[in-house]
Amino acid sequence: MAADVLPPAPPREPRRWVRWLLVASLALNLMFVGLAVGAAMRFGGPDRHGPPSVGSALYRAMPSEDRAEIRAEMRAMREARRGESVKAEAGAIAAALQAVPFDPAALEALVDAQMSRQEAWFRGTQDAWLTRVAAMTPEARSDYAKRLLDAVENRSGKRGWFGR
């Protein structure tokens, strides 16, 4: 009877393709987890973001036609500025930073000029918005005010994974 019992077979080495398949599966799983964690960090949950800035809320609460017109005006202002070279502006600031001896007044003048251009762009945006608001009927302005308050109060449910 003892002769009928066979010795246990030696363990087989797993095939090479099985190892590669397991490694590929692990890599895909890690990639998926990384994407999920990255998206959660980027968009967060309902409590991650505070209320929007007033300017952002004012824009988002506008009727879509008005937003489209404001975007067109903003685009036109940006195109008008494209004639000025951003690279030249950055180059002038870089040169002022590297100047020996360093002249803080020269750097301040360059940065002030850049800030003035940005302020002009924001003023233009504000003027475009105010023109639209002034043209609204009292009822439309009232509806706009309600949407504005709603946008600020319900901000957390509007973005991110949990609010989509």
Q: Do the Cβ atoms of 51 and 149 come closer than 8 Å?
A: no
pTM: 0.54
> How would you write the pLDDT of the chain (164 residues) with one tens digit per residue?
556 777 777 777 767 777 788 888 888 888 888 887 777 666 655 455 566 678 888 888 888 888 888 888 888 887 777 766 677 888 899 999 999 999 999 999 999 988 888 888 888 888 888 999 999 999 999 999 998 888 887 654 445 544 44
Q: What pLDDT, on the 0 to 100 scale, is given for residue 43?
A: 64
Q: What pLDDT, on the 0 to 100 scale, is given for residue 83?
A: 60
Helix %, strand %, coil % for the chain, to 5? 75, 0, 25
Q: What pLDDT, on the 0 to 100 scale, is given for residue 162?
A: 47
CATH architecture of 54-155: Up-down Bundle (1.20)
Q: What pLDDT, on the 0 to 100 scale, is given for residue 134?
A: 93
